[in-house]
Chain A
Amino acid sequence: MRVHVDPSKCQGHNRCYALAPELFDVDDYGNAFELNDGVVPAGLEDKARLALANCPEFAISIEE
């Protein structure tokens, strides 16, 4: 599974970073990006889905 934050949609709500800091980080402007090229380590799939489902800007996508 891979996650991706669309930087043109992210407005820096930081919900993903709060919910899944193993998968997302934030830059100096508070905008989110995926860690490890978006590769989701085994066992963290639910966290990835939770981050997607809580992004107010619909900026996160998942490739299964």
Chain B
Amino acid sequence: MTSVYGPATNWATDFDHADPEYNKNIHKIWDDLKTSGCPIAHTDRYGGAWLPLTYEMVHEISYDTTHFSSRSPVVGQLKPSEIPDAIPAPVGGVPPISSDPPFHAGARHLLLPIFAPKKIDPLNSVIREFCHKLIDDMGDKEFVDGAVEYAQNIPVMVVAHLLGFPLADADQFRVWIRSALEDVGESREQREIDQLALADYINKHIDQRIENPGDDLISYLLNAEMEGEKLSREHVFGTVALALIAGIDTTWSALGSSLLHLASNSVDRRRLVENPSMIPQAIEEFLRAYAPVTMARLVTEDMEFHGVHMKKEDWVLLPFPAANRDEKEFPNADTVDIDREINRHTAFGLGIHRCIGSNLARLELNVAVEVFLERFPDFEQDTKEEVKWSLGQVRGPRKLPLRILARS
């Protein structure tokens, strides 16, 4: 399928983050923009959007919730104001990621205990066992797809577990997530059909939990209170949709990029196989260098920003992955260095919207990489086949051809 806008013609003035060339060549595109003196790219696509590339600007926007609203964290062809029945600020459609102060704090506060480190640690053994099963399922194949046969399955299992959804529906989740996150430049009709199907699925589960509460996030939300009142149905629905959409593509992408790095860097691979205790620090470096998630904001009023004139309702992409490659903040930013000890990366965002699932994502990444290296102490990229990159605001390999050289 092709974007309704056609291929991007100029990355400085007509960029398209959902153009297949963007994620594939992202580091070269940013470097070219920065060296040509364009730290903020612009496009008229999507009704007008900006792409600031420095750590300083990403930092500033993250903390300025007055001028930059989170109401719609994924750039679409329509602005929220053009969508009938869209839930207005400060709540937005998928709280708390779509919420602004003052509503945001309460909506986030009630979710934080679910994702706190000590609460999620017991999932370690569940994830580990599942990773081993995925590798068992690969049998003795020499060639495997690290994205399809491994990375994509782990966060789906975790999120299904969290929400009490059957794992058998995993393929269906991935279709909806792709539609929501990757197909932003394609025909709106198919996306609307997918969104309705996703809404039906979630509503069916909410109705079931009202009848038969369980030990899952939906039941928790149905019981939760904000300022002494139960959450609205829209709020419960939005948070469930958020958990499903935000928890899967993101971790899958970070894991795929980490495996790709290890497949193509034999020194790092060997060091981590020999010293698994180095894995957590290496994961932080992979999160810095291959951060998957770019968020979006909407400008709340006309303003000047670092020499450009932003208009009310312009989109602003918030590329944490580009901030992580800023030489001013990270010396030798383009070198992936698993010995990097000082690493104040922004892969999980900055400020009040810090990824609420970051502890869970880190746990999944650490366990999944550890098990993969334990079972496949040697592997390489199968260069006969191409790596296929995702489209849009979440960047990671969707096809990752690997050749297994040793098993244990």
Which residues of A are in contact with B by a Cβ distance under 8 Å? 11-14, 17-18, 26-31, 50, 53-57
Contacts and interface: CB of A to CB of B under 8 A. Distances in A.
Interface in B320-368: 341-346, 348, 350-352, 354, 358-359, 362
Contact of A17 (B109, B112, B117, B343): B117
B118 interface: yes
B116 A26 contact: yes
24 contacts: A11-B351, A11-B354, A12-B112, A13-B348, A18-B362, A26-B116, A26-B118, A28-B113, A28-B118, A28-B119, A29-B112, A29-B116, A30-B115, A30-B359, A31-B112, A53-B341, A54-B342, A54-B344, A55-B344, A56-B346, A56-B348, A56-B350, A57-B351, A57-B354
The 3 A-B residue pairs with the shortest CB-CB distance, nearest first, are A30-B116, A11-B354, A29-B112
B280 interface: yes
Contacts, number: 55
Contact of A30 (B112, B280, B284, B351): B112
Nearest to B348: A13
B117 A53 contact: no
Contacts of B352: 11
Main DSSP-derived SS at the A contact region: loop
B109 A29 contact: yes
Contacts of B362: 18
Contacts of A57: 350-351, 354
A61 to B, nearest CB: 15
B341 A50 contact: yes
User: Which of A27, A29, A50 has the most chain B CB atoms inside 10 A of its CB?
Assistant: A29
Interface string B155-188: 0000000000000000000000000000000000
B351 A14 contact: no
